[in-house]
Structure formats: C-alpha cells, structure tokens
Amino acid sequence: MNITLRKLLQDPLYKKWFAKIPQETSVGTFPWRVWVLTKKGWTKPKHDFKTYREAYNWIVPRINDYQDLVLYSKGHEFKPPIIKYRGKRYYWPTPPGYNWCGYCRRPTAFSMFSHHHALTHIADPMAFRCTICGARKKFQKQFESNLPASYYDRELAPKGTPGGTSK
Ligand SMILES: [Zn+2]
C-alpha cells in the first residue's frame, strides 16, 4: 500500500514542494504523466503533459476523485525536498517501509512484479520495482535524511504523516 497523495499533502513541507514548479524537466515534448488509482488499478486518465503546471492543474481539482494520484516525471529523477533546520539542510525523510521514487517524486512501496501496469515487458521479475511507475530500485538513488530528533518536537507536520512526529 502506498501513502496517498492526499495524505502526503497534509505535510506542509511536501505540499509546498509539490506546488512548486521544478526547474529541471525530463526530455521529450510531454515529460509529465499523471497516474491515477481506480478500482481497476493504476491507469493513465489523459495524454501526457507538456509542463508541470499543466499536470499539477489537472491533479489538484481531481484529488478527491481517485483513490490516489501521482505526478510522474518520465525521465528526470528528482531528489526529495530539502528541509532547512537550525542552519543545516536535510533531505525530507522517507517514511519507514517506503523508498523515495525520484520519478514519482514521492515515497512509494517497492515490490517484485511479473506484470506491471506501467511496463509492457518485465525482463527481471526478481527486481524490486516502484509499485506505481515500475522503476527499478537498484537504479534509484536513496537519500538519507539524518534529521535530528529535535526537529520532530516542533510538530510542523501532522502526526503520522511523513515528516510528522513518529513518537
Ligand atoms: Zn515510481
């Protein structure tokens, strides 16, 4: 199970980052794709998008229309948001049990697949892949956060959300 976009956006820091148009974009004319989760699984509801803003503007009014949604970057891999705390910079922490997917631009669950909605062919069924976009874990960079425990005492994010207090 993935943490839904609705839940992720309860974290003020992630929400701000998600709303910001990234400087880097993927190559190609339509570098942005929206995946939505329905009863039938993950599906593409629309053609791909030329700009992040277009894709973002498609997602926001529909956030309650689907079980979950992803604004996926086709080619460029993104680092997690940065948290500035007491003069230092930290990566936004990926919640335990998840991996940061640089293409889905969020923490996702990874698993092994013999069939995957995003892929036409699986060459390596033993490989761990992002449950949403199918990217292989071994090619995904992971970003340790090392945020000090004192950060969580500030309770910037709601309890139970990524970046929220886990105590
Ligand atoms: Zn992914």
Q: What is the mean pLDDT of residues 72-101?
A: 91
Partners of 71 in the beta sheet? 34
- Does 162 have pLDDT greater than 80? no
- Does 165 have pLDDT greater than 50? no
Residue 167 and residue 78: Cα distance in Å, rounded?
Answer: 29
Residue 119 Cα to ligand 1 midpoint, Å, equals 12
Mean pLDDT lowest among 37-41, 129-133, 141-145: 141-145
The two tokens of residue 167 are 């105590």
Q: Looking at the chain, how many residues does it have?
A: 167
Q: Domain residues of the chain, as ranges?
A: 5-152
Q: Cα 4 to the chain's mean position, in Å?
A: 9
Contact of 4 with 67, CB cutoff 8 Å: yes
- Residue 96's pLDDT band, with cuts at 50, 70 and 90, is confident
Protein residues within 5 Å, CB atom, of ion ligand 1: 101, 103-104, 130, 132-133, 135
Residue 159 confidence (pLDDT): 53
40-68 pLDDT per residue, tens = 999 998 889 999 999 999 999 999 999 99
- Does 138 have pLDDT greater than 60? yes
Residue 96 and residue 83: Cα distance in Å, rounded?
Answer: 18
| Whole-prediction pTM | 0.86
Residue 134 and residue 104: Cα distance in Å, rounded?
Answer: 10
- Does 152 have pLDDT greater than 90? no
Residue 150 confidence (pLDDT): 75
Residue 107 Cα to ligand 1 midpoint, Å, equals 8
Residue 111 Cα to ligand 1 midpoint, Å, equals 11
Residue 63 and residue 70: Cα distance in Å, rounded?
Answer: 10
Residue 149 and residue 104: Cα distance in Å, rounded?
Answer: 27
Residue 13 Cα to ligand 1 midpoint, Å, equals 20
- Does 163 have pLDDT greater than 70? no
Residue 23 confidence (pLDDT): 83
Q: Where do we find the tokens 């699986």?
A: 122
Residue 9 and residue 56: Cα distance in Å, rounded?
Answer: 13
Angle formed at CA 123 by CA 122 and CA 129, multiple of 5 degrees? 60
Mean pLDDT lowest among 53-57, 73-77, 81-85, 151-155: 151-155
The mean pLDDT of the chain is 88
- CA 121, 127, 130, 131 torsion: positive or negative? positive
